[in-house]
Amino acid sequence: MQSNFLNFKSGIARTPPCSMAQGITTQNITIDVDLAREQHHQYLTALNELGISISLLEPEESLPDSHFVEDAAIIYKEQPILLRPGALERRNEVECLRNSLKAQLKFLELEKSDEGTVDGGDVLLMGEHVLIGISYRTNLVGAEALAAVLRTINPHLTIHFIEFSGVLHLKSGFVALNDKLLLGNPHIKLKRPLPIGEVIWLPAEEGYAANTLVANGAALVFAECTTTQAILKQAKLKPIPLDMSEFRKMDGSFTCLSLLW
């Protein structure tokens, strides 16, 4: 049975700007912007076909990573929360998102801090649990600030701080398939075992496919990752294979391209 926290009706995404090749990445590979936009369109089409209505924001050329909307905010129980990305170059994305959506959504915010940082890619919602990764982009001060806001929404929420290395974000390492089962990237290095859930570990060559987007009984997944698709079927999810090569070149994946609720 599909977990309620993985059922969605609405979402937000932003068209990739022509400047996206100037975004932050660990790879030195040429980006085909036209192909990226076509892949983004296919991604949005897949979400629409799952019954999710997406509000598509205009591209923001001054912010080359701004189509990765997940890092500037999260949505918990239909309540959006603005974050403070760890990369200085991405801080203006938060205000840009606020300005784009202020007529549509009312945001909660973290307590003001010059030290605290948190990327949405480090926040894994899993039923009545939230895992917040402590990473290169998210520090303990930021994680504690987010935890405080989350508890104003749900005082009974259990929040775990997860120290790790080896991948960019916590959701580069894990994604929840339901409230008890996770898909895992073997390249992630945990300081201590996860406190909840059972992990299905992917083969190393498909480790990056741990970031699938699970929604409404289906999972958006890299087209070339056939082993991952078979695992998703065994977990009673319908795989939707997509070519996302240009976003992978920018260290991006499925969950980072939308905010769903």
Q: Please give the positions annotated as active site.
A: 169, 256
Cα Rg for the chain, rounded, in angstroms? Answer: 17
Burial of 157 (0-12, 13-18, 19+ CB in 10 A): middle
Dist. CA 180–CA 37, nearest whole Å: 35
Cα 171 to the chain's mean position, in Å? 6
Ranges of beta strands (E only) in 58-212 are 73-76, 79-82, 108-109, 123-126, 129-134, 158-165, 174-176, 181-184, 189-190, 198-201
Look at the block and give the residue holding tokens 């087209």: 223
- 220-225-231-235 Cα dihedral, nearest 10 degrees: 0
Dist. CA 194–CA 189, nearest whole Å: 11
How would you list the strands of the sheet with 129-134, edge to edge?
A: 123-126, 129-134, 158-165, 189-190
Q: What does each C-alpha distance from 157 to 76, 138, 149, 150, 154 come to in angstroms?
A: 11, 20, 11, 8, 6
Helix (H/G/I), strand (E/B), else coil: 127: coil
* C-beta of residue 15 within 8 angstroms of C-beta of residue 59: yes
Cβ neighbours for 106, distance < 8 A, ≥ 6 positions apart: 80
